[in-house]
Structure 1
């Protein structure tokens, strides 16, 4: 109810408008999203299991890849089940606390994945440019600390984003033009000045992207320089092929995240952003295990040995 002195009202739930399509298409979208989510779950869990049980894959690169699969599984699970339920529901509601929780964990896992991709670039840099010191630079303890640091940085970003976003006032308007609780949609329906929130959204996102992409680009600059010094063409291709999957994943992930959060005016095109959001919340987590399994001979051999019972 509105207060006479302050033109605010207490919002206890939000309505996720999702995709504005006819009911028949809603059913079709449900089955498409369900299929995608099933592939995500099966693909990423399979990747985790294959890496865990195969002794040949107990290396730093696959330790990071296992954590990447875990993050893909987590942040798609934060989004997909509620989205699937809303396709079959007329109300499409999510509680205020549920929205805050979804936003927090989504921000946590996505930011952590950005840092983990930078860590994976450092791993490839160390393996190719300093192979003799690689066991020291990427010891088990160092790997654990790098992954832990990624989660800590992701948690800090998530706490800041969630605190500022859910300190906004919503004056009765609770319809989010999105299929999950995204910061852009929440800012759009707020009835107070959101300039500070837009700055808080833009600056940390830009800093994370700039910092992690700098690490990735510098790492690959050294890798490329080292690879070009290899005399044989076969040797150069074989060495650089270990980076191909990572480059593909990085390009997909950072391209969509930059388009969404690290460009001025991103808040003004929510309909377009919903399509892009499908890419990084569902399509990328589905493609990552496929990219790594199809382009990686060790993973393919491990899968074949498991299927053959060896």
Structure 2
């Protein structure tokens, strides 16, 4: 049985209990991060803890652990659960007042702090070898996709819609322009060798893996919006995320990308990222 961290204590997962009045439960008034584990070490920890602090600041949630405390918590969960490869999930909610109310609880309300581990293969996976197939679906999320909140219902609906259509995942689009995947940043490589990725704004999550991957890219990079039609005609495509690293995309809306297998540039970039992650993990 896993050990989790909840509000200052390490407890068996079966004993992890949160108030029914917790605002994370009632309002999705909470933020989260997921940090990957390779070789028992944390990948890009500083990037994730900095983004968590930004998300907390954007929502005005106070009282969360500081960076040093998060590092201790994550390492302790890795050790207690013998995580060699996988992820540590962290979540902070605005807390559990005594009743439900749209108005924020009084200043000084203690936030709810949760973290748990998930062991799974990340570096060597069947999906990375064959690539994933995606469809594009409307992006109807709220206008602050740059804040990593637990308000993930729409993304979950789109993921399940994609699976119902017989593919692996969805890319969301607004006005014919791709924003991002359900839980990943989206990228294409054009036939003239340019890597195109959506610019950082409120329409997409500012991916920590994206930030680590781009300096490893051998191609010219253009941070600009790209259309669904441009994506369907790309030479290569991929997504980036903490759990998927660099994941090749081999089909978009039923249209084969390249020869239908992971493109060479994407494969090289995935390996470069994994090498970087192993070298820099703490």
- TM-score bucket (shorter structure): under 0.3
Q: With CA pairs under 8 Å and 6+ residues apart, which has the higher RCO, 1 or 2?
A: 1
Which of the pair has more CA radius of gyration? 1
Point out the structure with the larger helix share.
1
Q: TM-score normalized by structure 2?
A: 0.27
